Amino acid sequence: MKLVFLGPPGAGKGTISRMVSERLGIPQISTGDIFRTAVKEKTELGLKVQAILAAGGLVPDELTIAIVKDRLSWPDAQRSYILDGFPRTIAQAEALAGFSSLDAAVDFEVKDELILFRLTGRRVCKVCGAIYHVVTKPPKVEGICDLCSGELYIRNDDKEETVKARLNAYHEETEPLIGWYGNRSLLLTIDGSPDAETVYNAFISEIGRFLRK
C-alpha cells in the first residue's frame, strides 16, 4: 500500500507511521527525519535547510520534491511506503501524482489545543528516532530510549514560538491538501486525539476499503 500521512505538527504522523512500519513491514519515509539527519550531519542539504527548520517554515518545493522522488525510486519503496510529512503543499501533491500512484491520503485530525501539550512533552531518541512523550509515552528510564538505550533529546523546533510558526505554515500551505485529496476520493480521515493504540486500530480498520480498488 502506498500512503501519505497528513495532519498538523503533533498529530501523531511519526508515531502511527512507525507503528505501521514495524508491524506491517512497510518503509516509513519522513521528510522531516531526512532534513534533521542532514542538519545533524552538516551535509550540503543540512546547511541549506537548517535555518528553515529552526524557524518552522517549509523547505522549498523543488528541493523537497527531488529528495522524495529519489527516495521512492529505491527498491524497498516499489510496492509499499508511507510518506510521513510529504506532501505539504499543493505543488508537492501534484508532483507526487506525476511519479507515483497513491492508495490513500490519511489525515490525522487533532485540535490545536492538544498540539502544544504533545510537542512540548515530546522526546526523541538521538540514535533510532523512536518517539516518546513525558506523559503519554514515557521511557522506562528517564532520558534513555527503551529500544536502543540512546539518549533522548528535545527537538529544536518544539519551542512554543516555533510550534506557532509550524502551525501557521500547516494551516496556510498544508491544510488545503485535505480538500485536494478529498476531490480525488483518496481521503481517509482518522481522529488522532485518542491514545496511539486506538488511533492505530482505527487506521487499520478503515484502510482496507482504499486498497485493491
Which residues of this protein are in contact with ligand AP5, per CB under 6 A?
A: 7, 9-15, 31-32, 35, 52-53, 56-59, 64, 85-88, 92, 118-119, 121-122, 131-133, 136-137, 157, 166, 195-196, 199
Binding mask 3-42 for Mg ion (x = CB under 5 A): -----------x----------------------------
Question: Catalytic residue among 2, 18, 118, 122, which?
Answer: 122
26 or 85, CB closer to ligand AP5? 85
| Residue numbering of the annotated binding site for Zn(2+) | 125, 128, 145, 148
SS (H, E, C) 146-166: CCCCCEEECCCCCCHHHHHHH
Of the pair 136, 201, the CB lying nearest ligand AP5 is at 136
Q: For residue 126, give the 3-state DSSP assignment.
A: coil
Catalytic residue flag (residue 13): yes
- Taking CB under 5 A as the rule, does residue 148 contact Zn ion? yes
Residue burial 65-74, b: 16+ Cβ < 10 Å; e: rest:
bebbeebbee
Is 88 a residue of the active site? yes
CA atoms within 13 A on the CB side of 11: 23
Judge contact between 7 and 110, C-beta under 8 A: yes
- Closer to ligand AP5 by CB, 2 or 88: give it: 88
Under rule CB under 5 A, residue 152 binds Zn ion: no
Closest approach, Cβ 85 to Mg ion, in A, equals 6
In sign, the C-alpha dihedral spanning 112, 171, 18, 191 is positive
What's the rounded Cα separation, in Å, for the pair 63 and 152?
29
State the binding partner of 66 from Mg ion, ligand AP5, Zn ion, none, CB within 5 to 8 A by kind. Answer: none
Amino acid at 59: V
Annotated binding site for AMP: 31, 36, 57-59, 85-88, 92, 155, 166
Q: Which of 53, 119, 125, 177 binds Zn ion (CB under 5 A)?
A: 125
Q: How far is the CB of 134 from Zn ion (least distance, A)?
A: 16
Which residues have C-beta within 8 Å of that of residue 135, sequence separation ≥ 6? Answer: 117, 121
Phi and psi for 53 in degrees, rounded to 5? -65, -45
Q: Which three cell numbers stand for residue 209?
A: 476499503
Residues recognised as catalytic: 13, 88, 122, 155, 166
